[in-house]
Chains A and B, each alone.
Chain A
Amino acid sequence: MRPATLVFRVAVAGGSMEPTFRDGDWLLVRRLSGPPRAGEVVVATDPREPARLLVKRVGSVAGHRVTVHGDHPDESTDSRQFGPIPDSAVIGRPFLRYAPLRRIGFVK
């Protein structure tokens, strides 16, 4: 799953990124240019199922291997289970939460 456009939209499903994102939030995502950096939120393909997208925060970057985790670790399946992912799996950076209206804001 690799969107062709420079900016694409995703809907968040699940609570592992709370409080940053809630289930049902809509995000604008910029296609990644350059390597992912520790601490930023990214959209990546699921290493277990490449057609599926994940939204997670980058924990650490070591060479081409990136660990990702949820902001809400009790409710997250992430690198603790599936290990580091290749940096090539990281495809974008969400930069704006555009819905619901009361939650509009830039992504930190």
Chain B
Amino acid sequence: MDLRSLLAPRLVAHAHCDIPCGIYDPTPAKIAADTVAKMVEKITGAGGTDEASRNTFIRSVAVKEEHAQICKKELLILWTDYFKPEHLEKYPKLHDTFWKAAKLCSKNKQSVDAKAAADLQAAVKEIADIFWATKK
């Protein structure tokens, strides 16, 4: 037996970030972005002036607003809590990508814009791809 294995501890004391790393996931942001896109579709295609149609229209607007906000919140959690300086070194565009994605969330709240919704979906996908790459 060499000196190193003689001196090596047999016990491990953990100094980990195990729980947060286990539960970070870009999926909620993706679902929220997909919901925004779906609501834009529904709002754009909405017709009818009867009460039921107006109710559906207003609900679609409210859900778009809500999910754009959820998307922003989920992105900010990933940005500020999950990603670390070493990720930034590997993905130098990370801050810019997050900043633009968060701005797209705001744009989707302000407008009914299929392109903005598709851009948000693409931005979230880009972030999700980076996230999963860091997990490999």
Cβ-based interface call for A8 (8 A) = yes
Q: How far is the CA of A21 from the CA of B18 in the complex (A)?
A: 17
Nearest-CB residue, chain B, relative to A1: B11
- B17 pairs with A55, CB closer than 8 A: no
Q: Are B9 and A26 in contact (CB under 8 A)?
A: yes
A50 interface residue per 8 A CB criterion: no
Q: A77 and B9: CB pair below 8 A?
A: no
B19 to A27, Cβ gap below 8 A?
no
Indicate whether A3 reaches chain B with its CB closer than 8 angstroms. yes
B10 pairs with A9, CB closer than 8 A: yes
Bound-state Cα–Cα, A1 to B14, Å: 13
The size bracket of the interface on A is 20 to 34
- For the complex, what is the distance from the CA of A52 to the CA of B15, rounded to whole Å? 11
- Distance in Å: Cβ of A108 to nearest Cβ of chain B: 16
> Whole-angstrom distance between the alpha carbons of A43 and B16 in the complex?
13
CB pair A11 B20 closer than 8 Å: no
Nearest-neighbour CB distance to chain A for B23, whole angstroms, equals: 10
Q: A35-65: which residues lie under 8 A (CB-CB) from chain B?
A: 43, 46, 52-56
29 contacts between A and B (CB under 8 A): A1-B11, A8-B9, A9-B7, A9-B8, A9-B11, A10-B12, A11-B13, A12-B12, A12-B15, A13-B13, A14-B16, A14-B17, A16-B15, A16-B17, A26-B9, A27-B13, A52-B14, A54-B15, A55-B13, A70-B17, A74-B81, A75-B17, A75-B84, A76-B15, A76-B16, A76-B17, A77-B20, A81-B19, A82-B19
**Given A54-B14, A76-B15, 13 other A-B contacts at CB below 8 A?**
A11-B13, A13-B12, A13-B13, A13-B15, A14-B17, A16-B16, A21-B15, A23-B15, A43-B13, A55-B14, A74-B17, A77-B19, A81-B19
Residues of B within 8 A of A (CB): 7-20, 81, 84
